[in-house]
Amino acid sequence: MTSEQVVDLDNAIQKVIQSHGFLIGPVQLPTRVDIGQLLVYLTSLTHQAVSLGWIYGPGSDGIVQSLDAKLTAAKASAAFGDDKTAINQLNAFVNELQALRGKHFNDNAFYLLQANAQFILSKLSAP
């Protein structure tokens, strides 16, 4: 991420924290990072974003199903030790977020899901 994207992400996170009086945010990670658990958490964040109205519009159910499928596939790939495929599947998730930002995702949903996906990607690409 560029420094400009990091600043945009930080600003959006601050906006999310201040909105709705409801916090969906950082949680303490276990000492051993389990990619599968992180992907399950990201799936739950996706569903929370829907319940908050952050993912919206006609066809949003299909969009969520598509995102879930990508995360489920990434979890399966990571479980088999195929990090390269898991990375590709998680990048497809991020690409879908970017394509639908402002159309079916508000900034809260976009930055929340993107930040968590990028974190998981950083753990997958680590040696």
**pLDDT score of 34:** 85
**pLDDT score of 31:** 47
**pLDDT score of 23:** 52
- Average pLDDT by consecutive 10-residue portion of the chain (127 residues)? 63 57 54 81 94 92 95 95 95 96 93 94 79
Q: State the SS3 of 40-80.
A: HHHHHHHHHHHHCCCECCCCHHHHHHHHHHHHHHHHHHHHC
Domain assignment present for 113: yes
**pLDDT score of 55:** 93
In terms of Cα–Cα distance, which of 84, 113, 119, 116 is closest to 98? Answer: 113
Q: How many domains does the chain have?
A: 1
Domain assignment present for 69: yes
Would you state the structure tokens that stand for residue 103, as one six-digit string?
């159309």
107: domain range? 57-127
